[in-house]
Amino acid sequence: MEISLTLTAEKLPRPFPLPEFPGEECTSGALAEFTGIVRAEEGGVPIRGLQYELYEPMALREMNRILEELALLHPCQRAIVCHRYGFIPVGEAAIYIAVFARHRREAFALLSGFMDRLKSEVPIWKVEALPC
Amino acid sequence: MKILLFAQARKLLSRDTLDWEIETPQSVNSLWEWLQSEHPALLPLRASSRIACNESYLQDQSGEGMLQPNDVVAIIPPVSGG
């Protein structure tokens, strides 16, 4: 599986720029996407944003490891992951993921499995919820 | 040994690195004993944190896992990305 990982302090673009489908050469039948967005409340308290922190080289290694392990269970063709860090205002994206696969089931399974493991294994932290 | 601190660990000590001067391999238990002695504010994180070594989780997360003097170690409090 081809893997593309980005960690950035910049705002994630919407829509996220994806490579063009390769026309007659296209072997992908599914593109599954997920965007994680900062909500306007945290624990019932209104907030204006979240502050994220990460251990960059290890976060990249862990994301790559998790995707490679998941791809053995759910063969997909390509995964693109972009996680933002620093201050992220409410309503903006913290993470974007795109998974290309021949069929939808593998794409959904890999995407879902990745998010579950990201939240328990990848060294990225919401360190502060900034109140309104 | 260089020890990296993140999130709650960094906040508790108001710094992002520590240096532990050792010349021989040490266990994770020894690391925590040193932290307890020198930086006791970190102790509440012991039960919930994992230890990373050279940018990967230490395979042996029990107290018996071994660390080398030149390793870059990180204390990884519970993560919350996404």
Residues of chain A contacting B10 with CB distance shorter than 8 Å: 53
Asked if B79 lies within 8 A of A125 by C-beta distance, the reply is: yes
pLDDT at A23: 79
pLDDT at A24: 81
Residues of chain B contacting A55 with CB distance shorter than 8 Å: 4, 6, 52, 55, 74, 76
**Average pLDDT per block of 10 residues along chain A, 132 residues long:** 97 92 86 97 94 98 98 97 98 98 97 98 96 90
pLDDT at B36: 95
Distance CA B12, CA A10 (A): 28
pLDDT at B63 over 90: no
Q: Average pLDDT of B24-52? A: 96
pLDDT at B52 over 80: yes
pLDDT at A10: 98
Which residues does B6 contact at the CB level (< 8 Å), separation at least 6?
Answer: A53, A54, A55, A123, A125, B16, B74, B75, B76, B77
pTM for the full predicted model: 0.95
Asked if A59 and A83 count as a contact pair (C-beta separation under 8 A), the reply is: yes
CB nearest A124 (choices: B4, B56, B81): B81
Assess A107–B contact: CB distance below 8 Å, yes or no.
no
Which residues does B21 contact at the CB level (< 8 Å), separation at least 6?
Answer: B1
ipTM of the complex: 0.94
